[in-house]
Structure 1
Amino acid sequence: MTRRYSEVDVFSPVAFLGNPVAVVHDAEGLTSEQMQRFAKWTNLAETTFLLPPTTAAADYRVRIFSATQEFPFAGHPTLGSALAWLRAGGVPQRPGEVVQECGAGLVRVRVDEQMLAFEAPPLTRFEPVGEPELEQVAGALGIQRSRIVDASWLVNGPGWIGVRLANAAEVLALRPDPAGLGSLCIGVVGEHAPGHDARFEVRAFLGDDPVWEDPITGSLNAGLAHWLRESGEPVGGGYTAAQGTAIGHEGRVTVSYEGDRIWIGGHAVVCVHGEVTL
């Protein structure tokens, strides 16, 4: 069956310098096995499949797959799917806001032309990382354990372990061994010196995945935003994070705090729109 298909570049105002997501529209009738097989074939970090919602509160439902597994939630696929749905003729129930149904529940997405932001879902695991796991994390990153300033579980879909280093230069200097990651999902953050256009530099490493360094990662940045605020970092009303620098991307993620709510935003551009036979 022929279905509409899009590829959207997310978290960069410049096309082809963000993080691409593949979006299959009109995905009714596809099995989980077919979705997983196609997601592996695209060779992108994630592929999404748009479906009719099962609740009147949502505008559409999405299923999100990496090359190896399905996620209940992921950040850049949420923004990319929302823009693809709108550009394909979707009309939200509330102007300027799309409500996405996914495995993690309902996620609100604000839309202002090509600038989108999702309301970060709650963390389902937020606690210190045990010492044996930290030794494994340090080994996977190729650094001494003593260089890890702080660490926390940041699970909101993917099972992130957040790691803080002394500064952005240390983050950019990391040369992890993909084979050493095992099944770990590690997100690393360090602060830039004053004068940089971003407050923090972020990198994301994915074990057991052919795309082992993710260019720009919404779910990780959502978890980091929660952790930084809860740990007492003076983040004020928000900040900008850079990601993808080490691998030739120019990702920028905006973090906004509104009371207890955290919004994760960035630009998105539809770069490919056509058809796929599935």
Structure 2
Amino acid sequence: MRNIRVYHVDAFTDQPFTGNTAGVVLDAEQLTGEEMQQIAKELNLSESIFLLPSDQTGIDYKVRYFTPTDEIPFCGHATIGLTWLLATELGLSQQQDGVVLGTGAGAIPVVWHQEEGRVQRVEMTQITPQIKALPVDLQAISEMVGVPVDAIDPAYPIQLSHTGNWHLLIPVHSQQAIDQATPDLIALSKHNKEYQIATTHLFTFTPDAEDDYDLYTRDFAPAIGIAEDPVTGAANGALTGYLYLNHMIPQDQITQLKIAQGRAIGRPGFLYVQAIPNGEHPIIKVAGTAKITIRGTLDI
């Protein structure tokens, strides 16, 4: 019998039962890829991350990411969940400042920000962002995401962006319109599979006036087995790259953004994102906190 350590970690929050829950599976060198997929299905979370030893110079650990139905190259909230656990539960922050993870998208450096010996935030550097156009039928997009055509903001392009996975980014006039979105998940899944898109990400620069964040977002991923992903590190990193490459944020100074997500489904969380100018290859950093909620052992 194999005993596999398994955790639930709520990422992009410091409160249990909020943010985005990741399955974090240690001891994955004992597992086959098929078993990892079965465990991800059993955990039934949006994504689960599996920790493996590394045989590559400059890579501390290899990781694999699975939704309940698919393996994917990269997942932001699961990366935050794993590295928070390594830093705190396993005490790695007392020995080093961070780790480099080998993912299907490339090397992802992660650092721990500490105060008085306590980890305050985990920050990952995502791979260099890319953007590309997509054939857009505004009426069809409106029907797929369940947002009226006049709620889609023409000031920003509907585009694909990538910092590990391709995300379809849709600008919306208001937070209320995002919260009221009722996507056609079957049509959206078919569309995203056709164009090899991981998620469809709605965003607005006009959150409710009393709130203290810069952007509000919502994310749907039926093509990879997730109806709605509560708080998405990968998609919001891709969003920040899109904003930079489209000259919507400065290209001559560091931009820091606070992004809110998850309120529409009762899992609110926050991400802290930086775009660091570097010509056409900006450096995108995504940070957040996490909370371990379940510790257990899977017996196989």
**TM-score, length of structure 1 as denominator length:** 0.91
Alignment of 1:22-171 (within 5 A): 22-89=23-90, 91=92, 95-112=96-113, 113-123=119-129, 125-132=130-137, 134-148=138-152, 149=154, 150-171=157-178
What is the deviation of 1:240? 0.5
Q: Matches of 2:225 and 2:241 in 1, distance apart?
A: 28
In the alignment, what sits opposite 1:188?
202
Q: Pick the aligned partner of 2:182 from 160, 175, 185.
A: 175
Give the letter aligned to residue 219 of structure 1: A
Q: Matches of 1:87 and 1:153 in 2, distance apart?
A: 35
In the alignment, what sits opposite 2:116?
none
What is the deviation of 1:90? 6.2
What is the deviation of 1:84? 2.2
- SS of 2:289's partner is strand
The answer to whether the 8 A contact 1:170-1:190 is kept is: no
Give the letter aligned to residue 97 of structure 2: G
Across the aligned residues of Structure 1 and Structure 2, the Cα RMSD in angstroms comes to 2.1
The answer to whether the 8 A contact 1:76-1:218 is kept is: yes
- SS of 1:223's partner is helix
In the alignment, what sits opposite 1:217?
232
Q: Matches of 1:8 and 1:114 in 2, distance apart?
A: 15
The answer to whether the 8 A contact 1:8-1:80 is kept is: yes
The answer to whether the 8 A contact 1:59-1:92 is kept is: no
Structure 2 residue runs of 5 or longer lacking an equivalent are 114-118, 193-198
Q: Matches of 2:96 and 2:104 in 1, distance apart?
A: 24
Q: Matches of 1:251 and 1:180 in 2, distance apart?
A: 28
Q: Could you give the per-residue CA deviations for residues 94-139 of structure 1, whole angstroms, max 9, x where no partner exists?
A: 832221111112101121204111112123x51122124x544322
Q: Matches of 2:126 and 2:257 in 1, distance apart?
A: 15
What is the deviation of 1:60? 1.2
Moved more, 28-37 or 153-162: 153-162
The answer to whether the 8 A contact 1:43-1:211 is kept is: no
Q: Matches of 1:155 and 1:94 in 2, distance apart?
A: 33
- SS of 1:28's partner is helix
2:294 is the alignment partner of 1:272: yes
Q: Matches of 1:130 and 1:76 in 2, distance apart?
A: 29
2:211 is the alignment partner of 1:199: no
Q: Matches of 1:93 and 1:164 in 2, distance apart?
A: 42
Q: Matches of 2:265 and 2:208 in 1, distance apart?
A: 21
- Of all paired residues, the percent bearing the same amino acid is 28
In the alignment, what sits opposite 2:22?
21
Q: Matches of 1:214 and 1:199 in 2, distance apart?
A: 20
What is the deviation of 1:68? 1.1
- SS of 1:225's partner is helix
What is the deviation of 1:26? 0.9
- SS of 1:263's partner is strand
- Count of matched residue positions in the alignment of Structure 1 and Structure 2: 276
Q: Matches of 1:152 and 1:40 in 2, distance apart?
A: 31
